[in-house]
Amino acid sequence: MADHTKSNDADHWDISITSSRRYFDLNVHELWRYRDLLVMFVKKDIITVYKQTILGPVWFLLQPIFTTMIFVVIFGRFAKISTDDVPQVLFYLGSVTLWNYFSETLNVTSKTFSENATVFGKVYFPRLILPLSKVASGLVKLMIQFSLFIIAWVYYLFIKQAIHPNWHIVFFPLLLTLLALLSLGLGIIITSLTTKYRDLTFLISFGVQLLFYATPIIFPISMVDSDKQFWLWLNPLTSIFEAFKYAFLGRGVFSPVWLGYSTVFTLVAMGVGIFIFNKVEKRFIDTV
């Protein structure tokens, strides 16, 4: 009986290592098997940031506070850029928190291969776990920072009664998901391309800076001439940030059409990202 199964087993293999690439092979099963690793990576990211610091996790909060203060002074007081009658602190704090999440996640995921080359060169695990863990640890950090926004928001809402949020707040999880997937998708596209063509790295940091100004973060889209607004909407982040402002602050534009566009854009970016990420992960270690 035992011999029987053995002889038949010969053509069943668990792993096959070849050069052929199955592009859309996401291998969810394998990712799931390594879920504990994802949790460990997230823990590591959070813990190591504040090890041996006195303030610990408080540092996560100081970053948006400082940025907001600087924005209030520079864009609010000096440049006098309109915030659509929304209290400046609230206007900047919310979008800065979201932007930081997006840009930091994009930044770390776009270095997945180059920064982890030594680990990747020594041991196999589904490479996608790493950028995924960065998205998740970024979310944890975002939640801590977002609590700050909520405090300010509650203050302006109930005490100052200066803002008028609405039911569109229920879309917030969707907006966050879009933001997370978009940064992940773009990040893994960039990291895959930069393993071979390093030159791109320089373009990317420039591109992210440019994107900051092409997204309604420090200004409301209503400030832009209506005939030029179309170009701004082409930036998939625009509808996300505007919808966020509309839902929480009552000012901004909630555009289902452009949100749909952003969703499609995000899904395409994810698809393309996984496609080339899979292609690169098999052999990148030979080229870094």
Partner 1 sequence: MSKEVVIRAENVSKLYRLGQVGTGTLSHDLKRWWAMARGKEDPYMKVGAENDRTKKKTSDYAWALKDISFDIKQGDTLGIIGKNGAGKSTLLKLLSRVTSPTTGEIKIKGRIASLLEVGTGFHPELTGRENIFMNGAILGMTRKEITSKFDEIVDFAGVELYIDTPVKRYSSGMYVRLAFGVAAHLEPEILIVDEVLAVGDAEFQKKCLGKMGNVASHGRTVIFVSHNMQAVQSLCRTALYLKSGQVSDFGQTEKVINNYLSKEIKNCLSSEWEMDEAPGNDNIRMLGAEIAPHYNDKAEVMDVTTPFDIKIRFYNGADNALINLSLVLYTMSGVVIFNVGTKPQRLAKGVHESVLSIPGRLLNDDVYTISLYFVKDTATVLYVIDELLTFEIVDEARGDAWFGKWPGAIRPSLDFSIK
- Positions that interact with partner 1 (CB under 8 A): 6, 9-10, 12-19, 33-34, 36-37, 39-40, 43-44, 47-48, 51-52, 119-125, 196-198, 282-283, 285-287
Cβ 215 to partner 1 shortest distance, Å: 32
- For residue 183, the SS3 value is helix
One-letter amino acid of 73? V
Distance CA 105, CA 109 (A): 6
User: Which CB, 46 or 272, lies closer to partner 1?
Assistant: 46
C-alpha distances in angstroms, 196 versus 39, 84, 200? 30, 45, 9
Cβ 280 to partner 1 shortest distance, Å: 11
Cβ 208 to partner 1 shortest distance, Å: 23
User: Which CB, 121 or 260, lies closer to partner 1?
Assistant: 121
Chain centroid to CA 278: how far?
20
> Buried b vs exposed e over 60-80: b needs ≥16 C-beta within 10 Å?
beebbeebbeebbeebbeeee
User: Which CB, 42 or 253, lies closer to partner 1?
Assistant: 42
Cβ 92 to partner 1 shortest distance, Å: 33
User: Which CB, 48 or 226, lies closer to partner 1?
Assistant: 48
Cβ 14 to partner 1 shortest distance, Å: 5
User: Which CB, 121 or 256, lies closer to partner 1?
Assistant: 121
User: Which CB, 35 or 160, lies closer to partner 1?
Assistant: 35
| Helix-helix angle 129-154:172-194, to 10 degrees | 140
User: Which CB, 51 or 80, lies closer to partner 1?
Assistant: 51
Cβ 184 to partner 1 shortest distance, Å: 21
Distance CA 175, CA 181 (A): 10
Contacts of 3 (CB under 8 A, 6+ apart): none
Contacts of 99 (CB under 8 A, 6+ apart): 212, 215, 217, 241
Q: In this structure, how many other beta carbons lie within 10 angstroms of the beta carbon of residue 83?
A: 22
Cβ 114 to partner 1 shortest distance, Å: 13
